[in-house]
Amino acid sequence: HKNSYVFYRYPLTLVRGIPLMEPIANQWDPIENFQARPDDLIISTYPKAGTTWMQEIVDLVLNKGDLEKAHRAPIYVRIPFLEICSPPPMPSGVDKLVNAPSPRVIKTHLPYQLVPKSFWENNCKMIYVARNAKDNLVSYYFFDQMNLTQPDPGTWEEYLTKFMEGKVAWGSWYDHVRRYWDEKDNHRILYVFYEDMKKDLAHEIHRVKDFLQVDLSEDIVQKIVHKATFEIMKENPMANYETVPSSLFDKSKSSFMRKGTVGDWKNYFTVAQREVFDAHYQQKMKGTSLHFQEE
């Protein structure tokens, strides 16, 4: 049963060419056929782009800065993760969402083409958060060390190659960020950058609240800014994932709220690695108007 449940590092299985954790691939039908409601809001990201940060902000905005309400449950309970699956009998993300009251806020890491069609048919709003490739990669490398359900990242050098080849859970970063960028004007998608949030969080919170059509005074916006700073979220048990058991997240390896900065990649990339990465990046990102700040 639940308490004695043992997790393990699931292998990745391809779903329409995208590597996903095996339990997700094995229970793909209910995800693909998920029934959206018109008032669903989706927060979509490539893993480690700032999902939790945006989840906390959205929850605070929808609750008009009511801090007590934001403390009602851990972030992964407040905003369920659509495609997450453990082997049965653990409830899946879909199990949690089907009976959830409206309006639902839903997290996903699925690339655009794997998002259940029903969301687009219902014209649902989506907030997409993107983070520069190098910081995103570094964050994922440390997360895969501590997250005991994802494949072992291997050495830094090995991980670098896997990331560039898109052979990590949820696939290619390059394809993920580009495709949502290309689609953002075809749907109600608000595209947000992690680096912009670091630079001027109040401004990005204004974009979010305007997109969600929530009226907030400047005082409340400032209250949300404060509550969503890295330092405060790191200490907040309802946001920092410390409620997840150590059989799932090994906190001796890394912490979920690890560093929360722009440019941390410089502490890990050698000059040679940077050159190879940047040359490959130019190819992968050729022809797009999507540009990132990385320092």
- Of the pair 12, 79, the CB lying nearest ligand A3P is at 79
Per CB under 6 A, 80 contacts ligand A3P: no
Asked if residue 108 lies in contact with residue 24, where contact means CB atoms within 8 angstroms, the answer is no
Please provide the DSSP assignment of 95-135 as one string. Answer: HHHHTPPSSPEEEE---GGGS-HHHHHTT-EEEEEE--HHH
- Of the pair 121, 262, the CB lying nearest ligand A3P is at 262
Q: How far is the CB of 137 from ligand A3P (least distance, A)?
A: 10
Pick the piece of the chain touching ligand A3P (CB under 6 A) from 76-84, 179-187, 211-219, 224-232.
224-232
CA distances 212 to 72, 127, 137, 176, 188, Å, are 21, 10, 30, 23, 11
Per CB under 6 A, 228 contacts ligand A3P: yes
Q: Which residues are CB-neighbours of 258 under 8 A, at least 6 positions away?
A: 139, 142, 143
Per CB under 6 A, 27 contacts ligand A3P: no
Per CB under 6 A, 49 contacts ligand A3P: yes
Per CB under 6 A, 227 contacts ligand A3P: no
249 three-state secondary structure: strand
Per CB under 6 A, 259 contacts ligand A3P: yes
Q: How far apart are CA 181 and CA 175, in angstroms?
A: 10
Catalytic residues, by residue number, are: 109
Q: How far is the CB of 83 from ligand A3P (least distance, A)?
A: 14
Pick the piece of the chain touching ligand A3P (CB under 6 A) from 113-121, 171-179, 205-213, 222-230.
222-230
Per CB under 6 A, 74 contacts ligand A3P: no
Number of residues engaging ligand A3P in binding (CB under 6 A): 20
Cis peptide before 116 (omega within 30 of 0): no
Asked if residue 129 lies in contact with residue 194, where contact means CB atoms within 8 angstroms, the answer is yes
- Of the pair 109, 209, the CB lying nearest ligand A3P is at 109
H or E element: which one contains 201? helix 201-211
Q: How far is the CB of 265 from ligand A3P (least distance, A)?
A: 9
Q: How many CB atoms lie within 10 A of CB 241?
A: 19
H or E element: which one contains 12? strand 12-15
87, 91, 151, 260: residue in contact with ligand A3P (rule CB under 6 A): 260
- Of the pair 118, 244, the CB lying nearest ligand A3P is at 244
Which chain residues interact with ligand A3P by CB under 6 A?
Answer: 45, 47-53, 135, 139, 142, 228-230, 233, 257-260, 264
